[in-house]
Amino acid sequence: MTTIESAADATPAAVPPDLRAHLSAPRTRSAVAVQQAILGAAREYLAGEGFTELLAPVIGPVTDPGARGSKQVDIDYYGHRYKLMTSAILYKQASLLSFGKIFCVAPNVRLEPLETANTDRHLAEFHQLDVEIAGASRDEATEVAQGVVRHAVRRVLDTAADHLDVLGRDRDALATWLDDPFGRITHREAVRRLHASDHPQDPGAEIDWAGERLLSESEKCPFFITDYPKGSRGFYDRESATDPGSLRNFDLIAPEGYGELCSGSEREYDYRRMIARMRETGENPAKYGWYLDLVRGGIPASAGFGIGVQRLTRYVAGLDAVWQASMFPKLPGVVSA
Ligand code: AMP
Ligand code: MG
């Protein structure tokens, strides 16, 4: 694999080795075995809770505009400009017209900025375990996210402990929190803690990478950050009726410095409010034809989330970088298989 432009500045540890060496490394086999245990357990847990697994679309006329400065990929669809999916959010909400509880393991392509090649947390192609629940509140969604992660980690400890040992993962660091409820702080509290440790976090914005790492390093158990400010997220995260300017959303943050595993929210579903939120976030409603047609006719209120599969694998397996959780990693700016 070769690097281009400023991704060449990536530290050697951040760059995947030769593909043959990567595919045949014990570390890759063990990381994928851990991932298999995670996915099997997640599917089992969600099926047991009455969820239907769907196959997510890969292309469409429009996709999730959110996503922290990453670029979308256009393709030529019979003369129309379509996008590769950056997330399944629009389809998740629409699917609730058929089923009340859905999930999918969906591929996402995001051309992340070159500087993210060094974060150990970004791939240009990754997967989300995407969940959406009709009629659910934010707290119900966090319960399901906690249930999925706990069930998956328990399964890894029960069935793939030998692989954790190959990877040198401290198993006690996972076992220690399995019976505890995940912690929960608001975005305001997270900002206060960062300011107290002299980190200059903008209170009106997404927690930056360095701040996320600081918060993550200070914990031993996964924890939720809730109520992000409106400017930080897409139009589909519902604004609080009682605390205007804050969103009914959450992230799940892994401990030990691994950072964000999952983002979720109660969703906007009211047509007029959605149009207003689109305009506020700089989105042109005219691009969202099929989706807004459905929203205008009525879609269920919902809450849901997406867990980054490679991020969760990295954390559970204790990998140095997220690319080690992928057989064919696409690091931002790195030309690869
Ligand atoms: P987002 O919609 O940006 O919050 O993405 C949902 C989840 O997908 C995040 O919580 C991460 O776990 C994962 N994720 C997002 N972007 C990336 C990326 N570039 N590489 C790997 N995982 C990602
Ligand atoms: Mg996120």
Instruction: Place 13 in a pLDDT band, splitting at 50, 70 and 90.
Output: very low
> What's phi and psi for 106, nearest 5 deg?
-110, 135
pLDDT at 310: 98
Instruction: Place 10 in a pLDDT band, splitting at 50, 70 and 90.
Output: very low
pLDDT at 82: 98
Higher pLDDT residue, 8 or 294?
294
Closest ligand to 122 CA?
1
pLDDT(161) > 70: yes
| 103: CATH | 3.30.930.10
Structure-token pair, residue 247: 């969103």
pLDDT at 1: 37
Mean pLDDT of 124-138: 98
Question: Facing residues of 250 across strands?
Answer: 226, 264
Q: How far is the CA of 260 from the centre of ligand 2 (A)?
A: 7
- pLDDT tens digits, residue range 165-220? 999 999 999 999 999 999 999 999 999 999 999 999 999 999 998 999 999 999 99
pLDDT at 249: 98
Question: Are the CB atoms for 11 and 119 separated by under 8 Å?
Answer: no
Give the nearest ligand 1 atom to 252 CA: 10
pLDDT at 28: 97
Give the rounded percent of residues in the chain with a pLDDT score beyond 70. 95
Q: How far is the CA of 13 from the centre of ligand 2 (A)?
A: 24
Give the nearest ligand 1 atom to 67 CA: 3
- pLDDT tens digits, residue range 46-70? 999 999 999 999 999 999 996 668 9
> What 3-state DSSP class applies to 110?
coil
Query: Best of 92, 129, 262, 331 to mutate for ligand 1, by most ligand atoms within 8 A of CB?
Result: 262
- pLDDT tens digits, residue range 77-119? 999 999 999 999 999 999 999 999 999 999 999 999 998 988 8
pLDDT at 9: 43
pLDDT(30) > 60: yes
Give the nearest ligand 1 atom to 234 CA: 2
Q: How far is the CA of 258 from the centre of ligand 1 (A)?
A: 13
CB neighbour burial string for 86-109, b if at least 16 within 10 angstroms, e if fewer? bbbbbbbbbbbeeebbbbbbbebb
Cα separation, 272 vs 115, in Å, equals: 37
Long-range contacts at 156-162 (CB < 8 A, ≥ 24 apart): 156/34, 156/37, 156/38, 156/41, 156/316, 159/37, 160/30, 160/33, 160/34, 160/36, 160/37
Global pTM? 0.95
> What's phi and psi for 229, nearest 5 deg?
-70, 155
Spell out the SS3 assignment of 242-293. Answer: CCCCEECEEEEEECCCCEEEEEEEEECCCHHHHHHHHHHCCCCHHHHHHHHH
Question: Are the CB atoms for 301 and 135 separated by under 8 Å?
Answer: yes
pLDDT(159) > 80: yes
Query: Best of 63, 263, 281, 328 to mutate for ligand 1, by most ligand atoms within 8 A of CB?
Result: 263
Ligand 1 pocket residue status of 322, Cβ below 6 Å? yes
Instruction: Give the rounded distance of the alpha carbon of 213 from its chain centre.
Output: 16
Domain that holds residue 193: 3-335
Query: Best of 118, 121, 305, 309 to mutate for ligand 1, by most ligand atoms within 8 A of CB?
Result: 121
Q: How far is the CA of 255 from the centre of ligand 1 (A)?
A: 16
Ligand 1 pocket residue status of 106, Cβ below 6 Å? no
For ligand 1, atom 19, which residue shows the shortest CA distance? 122
For ligand 1, atom 15, which residue shows the shortest CA distance? 308
DSSP 333: T
- pLDDT tens digits, residue range 261-313? 999 999 999 999 999 999 998 999 999 999 999 999 999 999 999 999 999 99
Question: Are the CB atoms for 302 and 270 separated by under 8 Å?
Answer: no
Helix axis angle, 209-217 to 187-196, nearest 10°: 90
Mean pLDDT of 313-325: 97
Structure-token pair, residue 321: 């970088």
Average pLDDT, the chain: 94
**Beta-carbon contacts of residue 291 (< 8 Å; ≥ 6 apart):** 62, 90, 93, 94
Instruction: Place 231 in a pLDDT band, splitting at 50, 70 and 90.
Output: confident
Cα separation, 117 vs 105, in Å, equals: 24
Give the nearest ligand 1 atom to 312 CA: 12
Selection from 258, 259, 277, 260 nearest residue 268 by Cα: 277
Ligand 1 pocket residue status of 321, Cβ below 6 Å? no
DSSP3 helix / strand / coil % (the chain, rounded to 5): 40, 20, 35
Cα separation, 259 vs 93, in Å, equals: 27
Question: Facing residues of 111 across strands?
Answer: 71
Question: Facing residues of 3 across strands?
Answer: 334
Give the nearest ligand 1 atom to 251 CA: 10
Give the nearest ligand 1 atom to 89 CA: 2
Cα separation, 258 vs 326, in Å, equals: 16
Cα separation, 39 vs 26, in Å, equals: 20
Number of structural domains the chain divides into = 1
For ligand 1, atom 18, which residue shows the shortest CA distance? 122
